[in-house]
Amino acid sequence: MRAPGTDRGRLLLVLAAVTAVTVFTATVPLLRDWFDLRVYHGAVDTWVHHGGRLYDYRVPGTAYGFTYPPFAAVAMLPMALLDLRAAIAVGLLLNLAALAVVVRLLTGRAWRRHGWYGCALGACALALFEPLRDTFSFGQVNLLLLALVLVDAWLLATGRERWAGAGIGLAAAVKLTPAIFIGLLLLARRGRAAAVATVVALTATGFAALVAPDASRFYWTDALWDTSRVGRLDYVSNQSLQGILARLGETDRALWAVAVLLTLGVWAVRARRAVAAGDWAAAFALTGLTACLVSPITWVHHLVWLLPSFAVLVRTGHPRIAGALYAVLCTSVVWLWFDDASGVDGFLGSNLYTWVTLGLLLRLPVGQPAVARPNRARSANAIEPAPSPAAPRMAQVSSQPGPSASGATAAATGAASGPGCGLARSASSEPTGSTRPAAPNPQSSRARASS
């Protein structure tokens, strides 16, 4: 199918796409009614204004409460000054801003080449991505954490290392899962950045302990280890290695630990290879994939950490693969096995998002240069990192135009086609949920609860 060649045709296509996306999001995946944000707001409001204990709060009529580290609650204290509607509005704006930062860092300047037409189609594609839909609809914090981590990736890639690690440290203080990126910094022998991340995380945690000593004591000695606060491991939304085992009825933690160690081993080998080749984009993408796999619970909305992988696929000349995998994560297909995940079809279908994540970990291109398009040179605006004998850098390279099919797939993945991604290569535990189940079937596509 050839892209329309006139502005009128492009406008009609954009209007059709907007209509299709609106109908889809209004009918197929029901909205979550800002449930997680209501958990955050209710817990902070009760804690500040009513003398309640932070981790005792439950959303009225449910058994869902706050499960993040105390620093997350301290960071959310401004919510206590707002009513629920204002908090929802602020949360929506923050998520939109974080998404803009993520897209900018992943695509660099490439998005400008597509103009209003490409940006509109890209926005439609992003609106279809189920992890993003759920993040916005639940009022979750995943995009904010992803933006913090990618800012650090940009700092490392462009030689601005003085504050590199601060974003990772803050993200790890809010939710422990991003702490795996400190492991990446250690693998890459970026001791300064790893130290900054560790100090920031510990300082934030210590500050929370001063502000809320009782809540901190309870979290680190009790709540952190109580997995029942998070949710059912076998629930279909749990797209982690633990989720696969739980749906198989396998409760042996030793087997899960072996699976985690093997996954971490694959990640360490591939991440080191990426860093050695100066491919920080792939290194950070691989680390996000690994975090989703090894976390005890990875709800569907946590899979926004896959977005950097799609950008890497497009940047290295695999836009069709990126588009196909991205499309799978737009379908909500795993919910077909919401009631029964037994049998071969259940094993394959209910874990489909996990298979995508695992496949990306194993096969994501590492150390490959950005694919150059014919008859065009690199942009003069390319940002070349400062050279360093200690470790390779990445360059931020603007995209080159390519065939229309590549551009369409780039819109479908939220990243521009061509060689440029914001973190392109130069030529050279805390349970992850935020709620606990109140019923046998929490968090379905027909329910409002999340984690």
Q: 340-373: per-residue pLDDT in tens?
A: 898 999 999 999 999 999 999 999 999 777 765 5
Provide mean pLDDT across the span 141-169: 93
Q: Does residue 437 lie within any of the structural domains?
A: no
Q: Does residue 423 lie within any of the structural domains?
A: no
Cβ-proximal residues to 258 (8 Å cutoff; 6+ apart), any chain: none
Distance CA 411, CA 399 (A): 13
396: which DSSP letter?
B
Identity of the amino acid at 422: G
Structure tokens at 444: 């379905």
Greatest C-alpha distance within the chain? 67
Q: Does residue 2 lie within any of the structural domains?
A: no
Q: Does residue 422 lie within any of the structural domains?
A: no
Q: Does residue 38 lie within any of the structural domains?
A: yes
pLDDT tens column, 96-150? 999 999 999 998 876 667 677 778 888 888 989 999 999 999 999 999 999 999 9
Supply the pLDDT for residue 422.
Answer: 54
337: which DSSP letter?
G
Helix 35-49 / helix 130-138 crossing angle, nearest 10 deg:
30
Q: Does residue 295 lie within any of the structural domains?
A: yes
Distance CA 340, CA 196 (A): 46
Q: Where residue 423 falls among pLDDT bands split at 50, 70, 90?
A: low
- Per-residue pLDDT at 380 exceeds 80: no
| Cα–Cα distances in angstroms (integers) from residue 48 to residues 77, 90, 435, in the given order | 8, 19, 20
DSSP state letters, 354-377? HHHHHHHHHHS--SPPPPPPTT-P
Of 132, 114, 402, 429, the C-alpha closest to 291 is 429
Supply the pLDDT for residue 314.
Answer: 93
The torsion angles phi and psi of 34, rounded to 5 degrees, stand at 55, 35
Q: Where residue 387 falls among pLDDT bands split at 50, 70, 90?
A: very low
Distance CA 105, CA 396 (A): 9
- In angstroms, the first-to-last Cα distance of the chain is 41
Distance CA 344, CA 350 (A): 10
Q: Does residue 370 lie within any of the structural domains?
A: yes
Q: Where residue 258 falls among pLDDT bands split at 50, 70, 90?
A: very high
Cβ-proximal residues to 181 (8 Å cutoff; 6+ apart), any chain: 149, 152, 168, 171, 172, 197, 284, 287, 291
Q: Does residue 432 lie within any of the structural domains?
A: no
- Number of separate domains in the chain: 1
Supply the pLDDT for residue 412.
Answer: 40
Note down the domain range covering 348. Answer: 7-413
Of 169, 135, 124, 139, the C-alpha closest to 151 is 169
